[in-house]
């Protein structure tokens, strides 16, 4: 039996609320409400999961319908939605507008309306220059020559050919320049994705890429688009090589560049969203907390152009906001933001949040607020969602250790023995036990035995010292996700976990501030 296609369903569900409203305006039919394709569109919009049989019942009721007829209806609606989106993009995208205007020139040219062609080309050229649409500019120059030839305007060709040839050369040079930067960008991106270990070979590859004359200075980039790529390459390179001071400078320069060009920023904000996200990360690495807050506020105020922009803003704002609250110990603020996030996240695909560390951030925030039951629920939900997945095995392993910690906090001693056995089986199967995992499991096992208060204190202090040594190793990024050392310190000193995190953050901030003065 053929599996029903979800192409139409996925397309309709991906539309933003503005795009859905535009579709209704686009079809502009008096009897639209009674049309089956409209009923199908509305049924898909209202549904939460893909169910072809349920959609058929909504559209046709008790009427018997052939599968071929329903397939034709879906195909018709799919094409109609695409046409609606094209029309929507024409009104909101400069790229579409330029293409349409140049198609208009072609139509007029075929009918010998040459003077009208010239009027349109003059307008199109101004817009194309403003938005660095170099391909359109080359096409405009070609039309100038073709119109002059059609009109046998030899004096125009004699007078303007030098200028046209010079402009064509400039635009082709800028396109070549952009293409070269894009190639460097994709080379470094592919290298990073293929080799996360930052091996010696990869470091040598990076160094060779950065020796390219194009990467020597911003002046080598001959257009706004090329300059953006220049700073994006620098940002990725400096982040990957842990040169966080330079990462901060390059990300700041990129934002400055983008904000200076308001036209391009209004046209496409997706790159700006990514630039703000990178700058937040760079500020966080250097302890520039106030700048993190300022940039988060800026990110939260970005007006999205597409549903993808809306998702990126939501995901990157909350991921960074949660990380800020977790690092600074502002768990009460994090709890308020978590409630706001959970209210709005339902309109997005849940799968888009599983692959990130969102659920572990939920855990940390609930844990910091001593809401251990919700912390456990978040952890269990993430473990369940990731069951069988090969992605982020490091986080899946960490989740098992956090599961032991939360049951230890809840005093579920009866469960801990069986949890230890199942956790050991999972970790031993997934990979060889890391030093961190081995020590943490030994601690949980030892903590379940009868000990005097003094003995327990000594066990905790020894583990804290061990973890402080491990945390200095670059391979132990686990300590960046959950402050286990702060948790051990809270047990040793009998202080709330949130208070210890806040104290440790303030101490680290002082150290960073003193370093910057040196």
DSSP string, 312-366: HHHHHHHHHHHHHHHHHT-HHHHHHHHHHHHHHGGGS-THHHHTTTHHHHHHHHH
- Which tens digit of pLDDT belongs to each residue from 50-104? 888 888 888 888 787 777 888 899 999 999 999 999 888 877 788 888 999 999 9
Between 362 and 64, name the one with better pLDDT: 362
Reference 42, options 62, 15, 75, 66; nearest CA is: 15
- Which tens digit of pLDDT belongs to each residue from 321-339? 999 999 999 999 999 999 9
3: which 2 tokens? 């599996």
pLDDT at site 198: 66
Between 172 and 46, name the one with better pLDDT: 172
Share of the chain above pLDDT 70, in %: 91
Domain ranges (residues) in the chain = 7-92, 111-178, 357-518
Judge contact between 364 and 493, C-beta under 8 A: no
- Report whether pLDDT(227) > 90: yes
Task: Please state the rounded mean pLDDT for residues 402-424.
Answer: 90
pLDDT at site 113: 97
pLDDT at site 203: 81
pLDDT at site 29: 56
Binned at pLDDT 50, 70 and 90, residue 1 comes out as: very low
Give the chain's mean pLDDT.
88
26-29-33-35 Cα dihedral, nearest 10 degrees: -100
- Report whether pLDDT(357) > 80: no
- Report whether pLDDT(356) > 70: no
Note the Cα 202 to chain centre separation in Å.
Answer: 24
Q: Is 364 exposed, middle or buried (0-12, 13-18, 19+ CB in 10 A)?
A: buried
Task: Please state the rounded mean pLDDT for residues 435-461.
Answer: 90
Binned at pLDDT 50, 70 and 90, residue 2 comes out as: very low
* 347: CB partners within 8 A, 6+ apart: none
Reduced to 3 states (helix: H, G, I; strand: E, B; else coil), residue 223 is: coil
* 266: CB partners within 8 A, 6+ apart: none
Q: What is the DSSP letter of 2?
A: P
Binned at pLDDT 50, 70 and 90, residue 178 comes out as: very high
Q: How far apart are CA 68 and CA 282, in angstroms?
A: 55
- Which tens digit of pLDDT belongs to each residue from 272-320? 999 999 999 999 988 899 999 999 999 999 998 887 888 899 999 999 9
Q: How far apart are CA 261 and CA 266, in angstroms?
A: 9
pLDDT at site 273: 96
- Report whether pLDDT(474) > 70: no
* Residue 432 CA: distances (Å) to CA of 202, 397, 436, 437: 25, 11, 11, 10
Q: How far apart are CA 291 and CA 283, in angstroms?
A: 7
Binned at pLDDT 50, 70 and 90, residue 177 comes out as: very high
Binned at pLDDT 50, 70 and 90, residue 365 comes out as: very high
Q: What is the DSSP letter of 472?
A: T
262-266, 382-386, 471-475: least confidently modelled range = 471-475
Between 68 and 367, name the one with better pLDDT: 367
Between 177 and 425, name the one with better pLDDT: 177
Task: Please state the rounded mean pLDDT for residues 198-217.
Answer: 87
* 335: CB partners within 8 A, 6+ apart: 365, 366, 369, 371
pLDDT at site 167: 98
494: which 2 tokens? 């009998």
- Report whether pLDDT(354) > 70: no
Reference 240, options 196, 291, 283, 289; nearest CA is: 196
Task: Please state the rounded mean pLDDT for residues 142-168.
Answer: 96
Question: For the chain, how big is the Rg over CA atoms in Å?
Answer: 29
Judge contact between 332 and 366, C-beta under 8 A: no
pLDDT at site 391: 58
Q: What is the DSSP letter of 211?
A: T
The reported pTM is 0.80
Between 352 and 258, name the one with better pLDDT: 258
376-378-384-389 Cα dihedral, nearest 10 degrees: -120
């Amino acid at each position: 039996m053929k599996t029903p296609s979800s192409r139409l369903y996925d397309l309709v569900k991906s539309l933003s609320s503005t795009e859905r409203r535009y579709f209704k305006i686009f079809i502009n039919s008096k009897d639209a409400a009674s049309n089956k394709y409209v009923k199908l569109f509305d049924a898909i919009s209202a549904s939460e999961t893909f169910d072809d049989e349920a959609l058929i019942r909504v559209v046709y009721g008790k009427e018997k319908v052939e599968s071929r007829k329903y397939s034709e209806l879906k195909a018709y609606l799919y094409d109609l939605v695409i046409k609606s989106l094209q029309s929507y993009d024409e009104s909101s995208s400069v790229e579409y507008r330029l293409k349409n205007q140049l198609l208009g020139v072609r139509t007029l040219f075929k009918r010998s309306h040459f003077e009208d062609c010239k009027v349109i080309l003059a307008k199109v050229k101004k817009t194309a220059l403003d938005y660095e649409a170099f391909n359109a500019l080359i096409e405009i120059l070609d039309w100038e020559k073709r119109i002059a030839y059609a009109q046998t305007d030899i004096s125009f060709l004699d007078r303007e050919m030098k200028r046209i040839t010079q402009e064509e050369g400039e635009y082709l040079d800028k396109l070549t320049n952009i293409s070269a930067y894009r190639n460097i960008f994709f080379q470094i991106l592919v290298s990073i994705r293929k080799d996360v270990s930052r091996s010696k070979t990869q470091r040598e590859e990076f160094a060779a890429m950065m020796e390219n004359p194009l990467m020597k200075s911003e002046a080598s980039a001959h257009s706004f688009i090329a300059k953006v790529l220049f700073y994006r390459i620098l940002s990725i390179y400096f982040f990957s090589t842990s040169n966080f001071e330079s990462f901060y400078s390059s990300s700041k320069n990129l934002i400055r560049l983008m904000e200076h060009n308001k036209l391009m920023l209004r046209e496409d904000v997706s790159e700006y969203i990514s630039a703000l996200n990178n700058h937040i990360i760079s500020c966080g690495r250097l302890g520039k907390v106030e700048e993190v807050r300022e940039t988060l506020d800026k990110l939260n105020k970005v007006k999205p152009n597409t549903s993808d922009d809306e998702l990126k803003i939501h995901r990157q704002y909350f991921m960074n906001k949660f990380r800020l609250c977790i690092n600074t110990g502002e768990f009460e603020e994090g709890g308020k933001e978590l409630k706001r996030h959970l209210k709005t996240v339902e309109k997005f695909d849940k799968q888009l949040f599983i692959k990130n560390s969102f659920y572990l951030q939920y855990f940390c925030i609930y844990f910091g607020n001593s809401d251990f039951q919700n912390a456990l629920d978040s952890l269990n939900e993430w473990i369940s969602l990731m069951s069988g997945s090969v992605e982020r095995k490091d986080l899946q392993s960490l989740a098992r250790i956090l599961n032991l910690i939360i049951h230890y906090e809840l005093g579920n001693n009866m469960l801990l023995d069986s949890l230890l056995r199942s956790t050991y089986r999972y970790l031993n199967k997934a990979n060889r036990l890391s030093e961190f995992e081995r020590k943490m499991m030994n601690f949980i096992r030892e903590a379940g035995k009868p000990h005097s208060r003094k003995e327990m204190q000594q066990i905790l202090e020894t583990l804290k010292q061990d973890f402080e040594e491990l945390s200095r190793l670059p391979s132990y990024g686990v300590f960046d996700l959950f402050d286990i050392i702060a948790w051990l310190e809270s047990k040793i000193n009998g202080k709330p976990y949130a208070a210890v995190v806040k104290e440790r953050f303030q101490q680290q901030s002082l150290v960073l501030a003193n370093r910057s003065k040196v």
